[in-house]
Structure 1
Amino acid sequence: MNLRVFTLYLLFRPIVSLPYLVKDQVLRIHSENVYKRNLLEAIISDPLLELDIWKDDMSEVDVRVPSSHLPTFKDRLKNFEYTVLIDDVQSMVEAEQMEFARRKKRDIQTEEELFSGYQDTDTLINYLSKLPGAQMFTLGYTYLDNPIQGVRIGTGSKNVVINGGIHAREWISPAVTAYVANYMLGSEMQAIDLRAKFTFHVIPVLNPDGYAYSRDAKGDRFWRKNREPNLNNPNCTGTDINRNFEYKWGNGDNECGEGYAGTAPLSTKEAMALDLYVKNLENVVAYIDVHSYSQLWLFPYGWTTEASPDSKNQMNASVRAVEAIERVHGTKFVAQRKTT
């Protein structure tokens, strides 16, 4: 099977909440060669600094630094050039919360209203369910018993699966995924042609528990995982659903860490639901997982530097995708293998 699997990282600067984030900063650190990149990797890997890595590639790293560790971290960067991207993260949170308060919950009637802000899961699903041709489905339920819902579009024999919102804080991911579904249900000739050739299975929010928690003023704007408690460590909640799938499972065993992979493959209800749903489909030709930040179009493998059997086709498709994005929107994405 010539399956194309992609991870799409969109440009989005996440913002956070909670008082302990006051005066946190986001830095962009530059590394001009492999030697300095290795030195930087050793610095940012120190768990005592409690860093939150937003972007990590050979040329630069974007990282949120807790205010309590800023002096130490900046001292370690004395041989590096860096830029302060966000001077006070909390001030951005306050501005966002004010905007949330201004936008009263209302019944979304038009796509302009839907995409004028970051909507909650129910709003996205309710809007899509009212569109002609939308075939709604539920692939499972979360730890908190919230439905994981999607929309099936088209009648083609080839199946394409698109999901967003696997990481709670990446709000633009559900928005973009819903935007794709909205377009595919529309009347443009390209959408009509695609619906005849393919059946699209679009899941805007795979992690509704975490997504809701990241939107709650009493929650954590930077929450990434799901909301299932970890039995072995009750002080730490959540599993990174993105690392909980069967294939090459096992990277991330710190229950308190952002990348905790869970107690076993498919130990989360969300990963299990998606796994079973996709396995029950025939002729799946593409799977796209939408994330945020970095403007990257990534393709397998993500666990090794070796190329996958479909690497050439995946690279060609990825290059065509980023070229189309730039041609239509003027936005530059980079196509690359996940481990490069």
Structure 2
Amino acid sequence: MEVRVREGDSCAYYGRLFQVPLELIVDSNENINQSDLKTGTKILIPGYVSVPYTINAEDTLWKIGKEKNLSLDAIMVLNQMQNPNQLAPGDTLYLPERITQYHVSSKLPYGSGILTKQIKTLKRLYPFINVDTIGTSVLGSQIQEIRIGKGSKKVHMNASFHANEWITTMVVMSLVNQYLISLTNRSPLRGINTINLYNETELSIVPMVNPDGVDLVLKGPPTNLRQEVMEINDGSDEFVHWKANIRGVDLNNQFPANWEIEQERKIPKSPAPRDYPGRSSLSEPEAKAMADFIKNNQFDRVLAFHTQGEEFYWGYEGFEPPESEILATEFERVSGYKAVRNVDSHAGFKDWYIQEYKRPGFTIELGRGINPLPLSQFHDILKKVEGIFLASLYL
């Protein structure tokens, strides 16, 4: 929501007026000199939208404010009113409405196009978040990152490395939406004051690492690649079990952490719907984009969301630091998921991160069943993983 500065207004005053933490207003207006606000300057108020209201004959500003539980001055600053008595029946007044409901859909699976729209919506409603593109897929789709918070601790999360695990993107986006609502409404999550998390932690999220693969599973192959993709899929036009990127390379078998072992023992020796590690490590643009992104950021821990099994993996070849076990114990406690230190697997994103940086890395396997998990599991998954999401920020 946008307001215009009046003489004597300040961001601190807007924080009190709209009951939004000051730091969120400041971070939503980074290009503005906060100490010298000019009259008429546009200021963005996060967590609000303006809603039109038609004036009735019996309406007064005091009556509207009382009925809508709004401060008179909140209405006046939004409408640039000088006189609270200047109402005329039939005129349109705009009322500030606090956002308390999700704007991320959890009812239908969505691919890269809808994800992009959802990210744009969140950026418009919560302008203190930062959105960036860290790379592009084989087909040129943007691999987007959302960043929230200004703290010294840096936490990264990602989802949909595997195409038919698109529900992980929906879960991560819902967690982000929940976090943003909590911040702007000053409402705690599981008893935690989230504005403290915002000030202490910088959260980075890549909600869809494999946009081409997700779109393939949900919508089928693009016309210009239909023949090649069908050949990789043994002639079938059913892609529900496809995990790879559009070229038939499993992106979570692409990282240089004993990649040669996976190349030798994986059954697919050529592009396939799943498990083929590629002709070399980091041969695929999506995997390389993630590796370069991690190299260019000093994250303290990473979490990669996959499905399924209701467990998580937190070790790799003894490279994990003692802190990993502390985090794993807390993740297990708050989610009910089983903590597994080691599995016979290499070349994964989490494996490479732990090996390269000796910092905590986790592969979180959401839900139970056969991939792709049904949307009927969504709310149960979200409830259980919420604890892991929060613990990764507060520990």
Q: TM-score range by the shorter chain?
A: 0.5 to 0.7
Gaps spanning 5+ residues in structure 1: where?
1-108, 229-237, 326-331
Cα contact 1:162–1:203 (8 A) shared by 2 = yes
| Larger Rg, first or second structure (1 or 2) | 2
What SS does structure 2 have at the residue aligned with 1:200?
A: strand
Cα contact 2:271–2:278 (8 A) shared by 1 = no
- The structure-2 alpha-carbon separation of the partners of 1:142 and 1:309, relative to structure 1 and needing over 3 Å to count, comes to closer
Letter of the structure 2 residue corresponding to residue 196 of structure 1: N
Question: CA shift at 1:153, angstroms?
Answer: 0.8
- The structure-2 alpha-carbon separation of the partners of 1:269 and 1:256, relative to structure 1 and needing over 3 Å to count, comes to closer
**Equivalent in 142, 149, 154 of residue 147 of structure 1:** 142
Q: Distance in 1 between matches of 2:159 and 2:119?
A: 15
Which residue is equivalent to 2:217? 214
Cα contact 2:103–2:177 (8 A) shared by 1 = no
Counterpart check, 1:264 vs 2:280: yes
Q: Distance in 2 between matches of 1:110 and 1:207?
A: 28
Question: CA shift at 1:309, angstroms?
Answer: 4.2
- The structure-2 alpha-carbon separation of the partners of 1:170 and 1:296, relative to structure 1 and needing over 3 Å to count, comes to same
Letter of the structure 1 residue corresponding to residue 241 of structure 2: F
Task: Report matched runs for 1:272-283 at 5 Å.
Answer: 272-282=288-298
Q: Distance in 1 between matches of 2:342 and 2:216?
A: 28
Counterpart check, 1:160 vs 2:117: no
Task: Report matched runs for 1:265-304 at 5 Å.
Answer: 265-282=281-298, 284-301=299-316
Cα contact 2:104–2:173 (8 A) shared by 1 = no
Cα contact 1:210–1:223 (8 A) shared by 2 = yes
TM superposition outliers: structure 1 runs of 4+ over 6 Å: none
Q: Distance in 2 between matches of 1:315 and 1:309?
A: 9
Q: Distance in 1 between matches of 2:217 and 2:130?
A: 28
CA RMSD of aligned residues (A): 2.1
Higher relative contact order (CA 8 A, sep 6+): 1
After TM superposition, the score normalised by the length of structure 1 is: 0.58
- The structure-2 alpha-carbon separation of the partners of 1:317 and 1:307, relative to structure 1 and needing over 3 Å to count, comes to same
Q: Distance in 1 between matches of 2:109 and 2:101?
A: 14
**Equivalent in 332, 335, 340 of residue 336 of structure 1:** 340
Which residue is equivalent to 2:319? 308
Cα contact 1:177–1:203 (8 A) shared by 2 = no
**Equivalent in 319, 328, 334 of residue 318 of structure 1:** 328
Which residue is equivalent to 1:129? 120
**% identical equivalent positions:** 24
Moved more, 133-142 or 120-129: 120-129
Moved more, 244-253 or 285-294: 244-253
In the TM superposition, what whole-angstrom CA distance separates every residue of 1:103-131 from its partner, at most 9, and x where no partner exists? xxxxxx96266112322222233223332
Which residue is equivalent to 2:106? 115
Q: Distance in 1 between matches of 2:104 and 2:208?
A: 19
Moved more, 187-196 or 205-214: 187-196
Counterpart check, 1:175 vs 2:170: yes
Q: Distance in 2 between matches of 1:289 and 1:140?
A: 18
Which residue is equivalent to 1:234? none
Gaps spanning 5+ residues in structure 2: where?
1-99, 221-236, 345-395
Of Structure 1 and Structure 2, the greater helix share is in 2
Cα contact 2:104–2:177 (8 A) shared by 1 = no
Of Structure 1 and Structure 2, the greater strand share is in 1
